[in-house]
Amino acid sequence: MLGLLFPAAIDGALGILSSPYVLFAILLGTAVGIVFGAIPGFSATMTIILFTPVTIPFEPTVALIFLVSAYGGAVYGGSIPAILINTPGAPGSIVTCWDGYELTKQGRAIYALAVSAIVSGLAGLIAATFLLVFAPPISDFALNFGNPEMFLLAVFALTIIPAAKGSSLSKALLAGAFGLLIGTIGNDPQLAQPRATFGQTALLEGVDFVVVLIGLFVLAEVFWLAYRGTVVTGDNTVQRGASEVYDAARAVVSRPVGFVRGALIGTFIGSLPGAGADVANFVSYNEAKRWANDELADRFGSGIIEGVIAADSSNNATQGSALIPTLTLGIPGSGATAALLGAIALHGLNPGPGLFDASGDIVYAMILSLFVGNVLILIYGLAGSQYFGKLAYIPIRYIIPSVAVLAVVGGFAVRNAPVDLYIVLLFGLLGVLFVVYDYPLVSLVLGVILGDIAESGFVTGWLLTGESATAFLFNSSIAVGLLALIALSLVVTAVKN
Amino acid sequence: MTLTDLGRREFLAAGVTGLSVTAAYGAEAFGVTERFDDARVTAVVPWAQGGGTDRAMRITTPAWSDRLGIEFVVENYPGGSTQVGGEELYNADPDGTTVAMWNMPQMQATWLFQNAPYRMESFDYLGTHHWDPTMWFAPLDRPYDDLAEFVDYAREDGATVGITSAIGNTALSALLVEDTYDLDLTVVNMEGGSEVRQAVLAGDVDAGVNQPWAFNPDHVGDVLALGSHTAEPQELWPDTPSFADLGLEDVPLVEEGLGQWKLVVVPGGLRENDPERFERLADTYAAALEDETFLAEAENQGGLDEILEYRGPDETEAEVEETSQFMETYADVVENFIYDR
Amino acid sequence: MTRITPPTVTMSTGSRTLEIDTGELLFPGLVLAFCLFYYWDTRALPELSMLYAGPLLYTTIALAVVTVAVQAVSVGGGDDPRGGGDGGVESAAAAFDPDSDPEADEEAVFTVRSAAVLIVLTAGYIVALEPIGFLAATVAFLAATLYLFGERNPLALAGYSLGFAIGVWLVFVQWLMIPL
Short-list B295, B313, B315, CA closest to B305: B295
Q: Is B29 on the interface with C (CB under 8 A)?
A: yes
Query: C25 and C77 in one domain?
Result: yes
Short-list C4, C5, C29, C14, CA closest to C75: C14
Q: Is A357 on the interface with B (CB under 8 A)?
A: no
Short-list A344, C134, A414, A342, CA closest to B75: A414
The total number of residues shown for chain A amounts to 497
Residue of C nearest to A414 (CA): C178
Distance from CA of B256 to the nearest CA of C (A): 31
| Burial state string for B111-133 with b = 16 or more CB within 10 A and e = fewer than 16 | bbbbebebeeebbbbbbbbbbbb
Q: Note whether B9 contacts C143, CB cutoff 8 Å.
A: no
Return the sign of the alpha-carbon dihedral for residues B219, B220, B222, B227: positive
- Per-residue pLDDT of B27-51, as tens digits, reads 666 655 554 445 688 899 988 776 7
- Per-residue pLDDT of A440-483, as tens digits, reads 888 999 899 899 889 989 999 999 988 888 989 998 999 999 99
- Per-residue pLDDT of A208-266, as tens digits, reads 888 999 999 899 988 988 887 765 555 556 666 677 888 888 888 888 888 899 999 99
Q: Is A205 on the interface with B (CB under 8 A)?
A: yes
Q: Note whether C139 contacts B341, CB cutoff 8 Å.
A: no
Residues in contact with B311: Cβ distance below 8 Å, sequence separation at least 6, in sequence order: B127, B128, B319
- Tell me which residue in A191, A349, A415 faces B166 most closely, judged by beta carbons: A191
Contact B341, C48 (CB under 8 A): yes
What one-letter code names the amino acid at C67? T
Stretch A166-187: mean pLDDT, rounded?
92
Query: C116 and C77 in one domain?
Result: no
Task: Report the pLDDT value the prediction gives residue C87, as an integer from 0 to 100.
Answer: 36
Question: What is the topology classification, in CATH, of domain B135-257?
Answer: D-Maltodextrin-Binding Protein; domain 2 (3.40.190)
β-strand partners of B125: B265
Task: Report the pLDDT value the prediction gives residue A228, as an integer from 0 to 100.
Answer: 75
- Per-residue pLDDT of B110-149, as tens digits, reads 998 888 899 999 999 999 999 999 999 999 999 999 999 9
Residue A49: how many other CB atoms lie within 10 Å? 31
Q: Note whether C103 contacts A282, CB cutoff 8 Å.
A: no
The rounded distance, in Å, linking the Cα atoms of B159 and B175 is 13
Stretch A326-337: mean pLDDT, rounded?
87
- Chain A positions touching C126 (Cβ under 8 A) are 408, 421-422, 424-425
- Per-residue pLDDT of B282-295, as tens digits, reads 999 999 999 999 99
- Chain A positions touching B202 (Cβ under 8 A) are 146
Dump the DSSP string for B115-160. Answer: --S--GGGEEEEEEEEEEE-EEEE-TTSS-SSHHHHHHHHHHH-EE
Residue of B nearest to C169 (CA): B33
Q: Is C169 on the interface with A (CB under 8 A)?
A: no
- Chain C positions touching A226 (Cβ under 8 A) are 110, 114-115, 118, 149
C78, pLDDT greater than 50: no
A344, pLDDT greater than 60: yes
Q: Which domain holds residue C22?
A: 8-82
The rounded distance, in Å, linking the Cα atoms of B122 and B235 is 34
Task: Report the pLDDT value the prediction gives residue B333, as an integer from 0 to 100.
Answer: 87
CA distance to A123, A154, A159, B23, B55, per residue, from A273 (Å): 20, 11, 10, 50, 35
Alpha helices, DSSP H only, in A166-292?
169-183, 209-213, 220-228, 242-253, 256-271, 277-291
Mutation pick from B21, B42, B338 vs chain C, by most beta carbons of C within 10 Å, is B21
- Chain B positions touching C157 (Cβ under 8 A) are 13, 16-17
C53, pLDDT greater than 90: yes
Domain tally, chain C: 2
- Chain B positions touching A464 (Cβ under 8 A) are 160, 186, 188, 204-205
The rounded distance, in Å, linking the Cα atoms of A322 and A249 is 27
The 3-state DSSP class for residue A72 equals helix
- Chain B positions touching A193 (Cβ under 8 A) are 114, 338
> In this complex, how many residue pairs, one in chain A and one in chain B, have their CB atoms less than 8 Å apart?
70
The rounded distance, in Å, linking the Cα atoms of A261 and A340 is 27
β-strand partners of B100: B44, B265
Task: Report the pLDDT value the prediction gives residue A461, as an integer from 0 to 100.
Answer: 93
Q: Note whether A174 contacts C123, CB cutoff 8 Å.
A: no
> In this complex, how many residue pairs, one in chain B and one in chain C, have their CB atoms less than 8 Å apart?
66
Q: Is B39 on the interface with C (CB under 8 A)?
A: no
Q: Is B36 on the interface with C (CB under 8 A)?
A: yes
Short-list A36, A414, A451, A392, CA closest to A232: A392
Domain tally, chain A: 1
Q: Note whether B75 contacts A347, CB cutoff 8 Å.
A: no
Residues in contact with B166: Cβ distance below 8 Å, sequence separation at least 6, in sequence order: A187, A189, A190, A191, A192, B81, B109, B189
- Domain edges within chain B: 40-131+261-328, 135-257
For residue A474, report the phi and psi dihedrals to the nearest 5 degrees: -105, 35
- Tell me which residue in A181, A434, A438 faces C60 most closely, judged by beta carbons: A181
Alpha helices, DSSP H only, in A330-468?
335-346, 355-389, 396-413, 419-436, 441-464
Provide the phi-psi class of C85: left if phi over 0, else alpha when psi is between -120 and 50, else beta: left
Q: What is the pTM of this model?
A: 0.84
| Chain mean pLDDT for chain A | 87
> Does residue C98 sit within a domain?
no
Distance from CA of B267 to the nearest CA of C (A): 19
Question: What is the topology classification, in CATH, of domain B40-131+261-328?
Answer: D-Maltodextrin-Binding Protein; domain 2 (3.40.190)
Q: Is C65 on the interface with A (CB under 8 A)?
A: no
Q: Is B273 on the interface with C (CB under 8 A)?
A: no
Task: Report the pLDDT value the prediction gives residue A369, as an integer from 0 to 100.
Answer: 94
Residue of B nearest to C128 (CA): B25
Stretch A376-401: mean pLDDT, rounded?
83
The rounded distance, in Å, linking the Cα atoms of A16 and B109 is 42
Residue of A nearest to B86 (CA): A201
Residue of A nearest to B206 (CA): A464
Task: Report the pLDDT value the prediction gives residue B28, as an integer from 0 to 100.
Answer: 67
For residue A161, report the phi and psi dihedrals to the nearest 5 degrees: -60, -50
Short-list A294, A293, A299, A272, CA closest to A283: A272
Q: Note whether B20 contacts C158, CB cutoff 8 Å.
A: yes
Residue of A nearest to B198 (CA): A354
Top pLDDT among C106 and B188 is at B188
Short-list B302, B263, B212, CA closest to B53: B263
Instruction: Please name the residues between 46 and 85 in chain C that touch chain B, using a CB distance below 8 Å.
Output: 46-48
Residue of C nearest to B28 (CA): C133
Short-list A424, A394, A426, A430, CA closest to A412: A424
Contact A309, A100 (CB under 8 A): no
- Tell me which residue in B15, B25, B36 faces C136 most closely, judged by beta carbons: B25
- Per-residue pLDDT of A27-46, as tens digits, reads 999 999 999 988 887 888 89
Q: Is C112 on the interface with B (CB under 8 A)?
A: no
The rounded distance, in Å, linking the Cα atoms of C127 and A321 is 41
Top pLDDT among A447 and A333 is at A447
The rounded distance, in Å, linking the Cα atoms of C172 and C180 is 8
Stretch B50-73: mean pLDDT, rounded?
88
Q: Which domain holds residue A51?
A: 2-496
Top pLDDT among A152 and B54 is at A152
Q: How does strand B71-76 pair with strand B40-45?
A: parallel
Q: Is B19 on the interface with C (CB under 8 A)?
A: yes
Query: C117 and C75 in one domain?
Result: no
A4, pLDDT greater than 70: no
> Does residue C143 sit within a domain?
yes
